[in-house]
Structure 1
Amino acid sequence: MRAARLTIIALSLGLVACSGGEKAPEEKAPESLVVLSHDSFDFPDELLSEFKEKTGVEVKIQQVGDGGELANRLVLTKDAPLGDVVYGLDNTVSYRLAGQKIIGETSVASPNKDLDFAGEPGLIPIDQGDVCINADKKWFSENNVEIPKTFEDLLKPEYSDKLVAMNPASSTPGMAFMLATIEHFGEDGWVDYWKKLKANGLKVTNGWSDAFSVDYSAGEGKGPFPMMVSYGSSPAYSVNEEKTESSTVALSETCYRQVEYAGVIAGTKNEKAASSFIEFLLTPKVQEAISKVTYMHPTNPEAKAPEDLTKFGPLADTVTTVPAEKIAQNAETWLRTWQSDVIG
């Protein structure tokens, strides 16, 4: 009898639970995405809010050092990815991911096929710019020294102890500059060129920020070096209040074209939302916002770069580039050679 009563009670409770007094199912929490990026990606909060309003997806930006560090982190965590999307890998470091199935396939169309990275079709070009030697025009004017123009000029005695470059193993601008010298001087000449640069007082830092904040005379630290490896767009950052002149100049004959990519990280459970975010990055409005933040040029031809960037930091007419396949085949050897023969 006791068992029967318990059965009746349980059935009664079940009927109550199924009646109009049942609790409504809890609302599903908004889907979220983690975007891994380099530490220069200061994405506007209002655009993240706009994306959430359109899709219901909250985006969290997780900065992971320089572009080289970002690539290394993706490789080290490929079996347990830290995010859903990556932004900021460029054509100097993306070779580290080639063939490792770190970047997933995507339906997002490239805005410019000429900028695609061979070997990783899932990487979508988001912005582009140049890495060039930058010079402090004020320093050269005050010291009555002519600003150099070419790679070869940098070896002249008057430019001794005047240039700061970055370690190509830890810095994407540093890697771009090394690749530029390899392309310009060839396999047989680039190491000798670096040795001569070093003998002429070249300083090497680990990263761009170190050089700009400490060593460069036109940088935050007002240091003793009037030239540094930087970006072709940097002079747009040094424009006077009247918008008539920049205090720095990029040496256009030393430029290497840099392209930054975004991709869906393989293994994400939010593949559709991840692809939607990359499509969002390619819209003209967002492309223009990224250009203002990063001082890089849009890849979407419908987007416009800021006026200062167009006027004082345009893309160079002549640049050096090294094919992705060649970088993938030789990069590690080049880096070891640079470390042993240049740094010692």
Structure 2
Amino acid sequence: MLAGSMTALSFLSAGAARAQGQLVMYCSVQEEWCRAMTSAFERDTGIKVSMTRKSSGETFAQVKAEASNPRGDIWWGGTGDPHMQAAEEGLTMEYSSPKMSELQDWAVRQWEQSKKRTVGIYSGALGFGYNTELAKANKIGEPKCWADLLKPELKDEVQVADPNSSGTAYTLLATIIQIMGEDKGFEYLKALHKNVNQYTKSGAAPAKAAALGETTVGIAFMHDVVTMVVDKAPVKVVAPCEGTGYEIGSMSIIKGAKNLENAKKFYDWALTADAQKLGAEAKSYQVPSNKNTPVPPQAPKLADIKLINFDFAKYGSSEERKRLLSKWDNEVKNLPK
């Protein structure tokens, strides 16, 4: 009887240990980087991670849908705008990490603007890449500006993600409006629509498509295009001449997280220089938020790019995001070619 009780007790203890040693992570960067973070955190802490990779817009929709019974614990990566919206809607929770003093000012500002509900983990500028072989074969001049993407010779040769699912594409939407004003910005997006061959789900997909020769131009974050260049694809990275927006990739703890202590452990760990080095190792060339993390030499140099004064608070607000996405659906996406 005693042996049976001991067996039952050890079984219960093992079950309790398993419950303590879990983390459900929603990841919104490239799959390779998601996997590298998962493996390294498991190795460093012994905590078992269940990871799901989706674009930031899709992850926001999932977190919102699960609000009454949260399944995720931590949301790591992806553009800051949907993280800001989640913060505003009370879907994520306040947390002050002891690592905050190690972070760049822009990462801390993101945390302050969201009332401590999301923090910056990397930054990267928006731009596009074009396939040099296709451009040459089809006698398309070198595109250098947003305006160049409207040229008739690029009809069905531009690819960009859908801003409803992709934070990259929402950054484009907000960028164009901030550069041109809302009316002219939407006129631009309607004209661009005629040249778009596909609105993808993932923001990085257009960079891959340009690298593979499936489209001449892929609008994406410049670091995603750099990944293709490093892999020897015939692609050139462009920082548009009119100026461009940028992202502050973010991290948030999901309100009601069932593995809260492990979510906090991951949050603190993910802000360390060692954890942030994994990006470059996974061929993701963003600028890290920890001041002590070496910036990958391949990363686009933000100081050399004409960056706009991107209004993260406005374009990350719930009301503005909903309004602009609805307007884009009604006025751009459903237009005939």
- TM-score w.r.t. length of structure 2: 0.81
Partner residue in 1 for 2:267: 278
Partner residue in 2 for 1:8: none
1:318 corresponds to which of 306, 315, 332? 306
For the 8 Å contact 1:35–1:59, the answer to whether it is kept is no
How far apart are the structure 1 equivalents of 2:315 and 2:226?
A: 32
- 1:122-271 equivalences in 2 (<5 Å): 122-199=117-194, 201-208=195-202, 211=206, 216-219=209-212, 222-223=213-214, 225-239=215-229, 247-253=234-240, 255-271=244-260
| Shift in Å, 1:49 | 3.5
For the 8 Å contact 1:85–1:262, the answer to whether it is kept is yes
Partner residue in 1 for 2:60: 71
**1:193 counterpart letter in structure 2:** Y
The structure with the largest alpha-carbon Rg is: 1
After superposition, what is the alpha-carbon deviation per residue over 1:140-175, rounded to whole angstroms, capped at 9, x for unaligned?
234443211111222233433321122111222211
| Shift in Å, 1:206 | 3.2
**1:67 counterpart letter in structure 2:** S
- 1:56-67 equivalences in 2 (<5 Å): 57-67=46-56
After superposition, what is the alpha-carbon deviation per residue over 1:255-301, rounded to whole angstroms, capped at 9, x for unaligned?
32112211222223543332221111111111011333233221111
Partner residue in 2 for 1:104: 93
For the 8 Å contact 1:39–1:64, the answer to whether it is kept is yes
For the 8 Å contact 2:129–2:207, the answer to whether it is kept is no
| Shift in Å, 1:64 | 4.3
| Shift in Å, 1:76 | 1.0
How far apart are the structure 2 equivalents of 1:130 and 1:230?
A: 9
For the 8 Å contact 1:83–1:268, the answer to whether it is kept is yes
How far apart are the structure 2 equivalents of 1:48 and 1:95?
A: 25
For the 8 Å contact 1:34–1:61, the answer to whether it is kept is yes
The change in CA–CA distance for 1:306 and 1:210 in structure 2 (over 3 A counts) is closer
Partner residue in 1 for 2:24: 34
Partner residue in 1 for 2:327: 337
How far apart are the structure 1 equivalents of 2:225 and 2:263?
A: 34
* Structure with more relative contact order (C-alpha pairs < 8 Å, separation 6 or more): 2
The change in CA–CA distance for 1:233 and 1:337 in structure 2 (over 3 A counts) is same
How far apart are the structure 2 equivalents of 1:143 and 1:44?
A: 41
Partner residue in 2 for 1:114: 106
How far apart are the structure 2 equivalents of 1:234 and 1:38?
A: 13
| Shift in Å, 1:75 | 0.9
Partner residue in 2 for 1:295: 285
Partner residue in 2 for 1:6: none
Q: Which runs of 5+ in 1 are unaligned?
A: 1-12
Query: What do you get for the CA RMSD once the two structures are aligned?
Result: 2.8
| Shift in Å, 1:46 | 4.7
Q: Helix, strand or coil: the match of 1:126? A: strand
For the 8 Å contact 1:133–1:255, the answer to whether it is kept is no
For the 8 Å contact 1:35–1:62, the answer to whether it is kept is yes
| Shift in Å, 1:44 | 4.7
* Number of equivalenced pairs: 309
Partner residue in 2 for 1:7: none
Q: Helix, strand or coil: the match of 1:92? A: helix
Q: Helix, strand or coil: the match of 1:98? A: helix
Q: Which runs of 5+ in 2 are unaligned?
A: none
Q: More displaced, 282-291 or 150-159?
A: 150-159
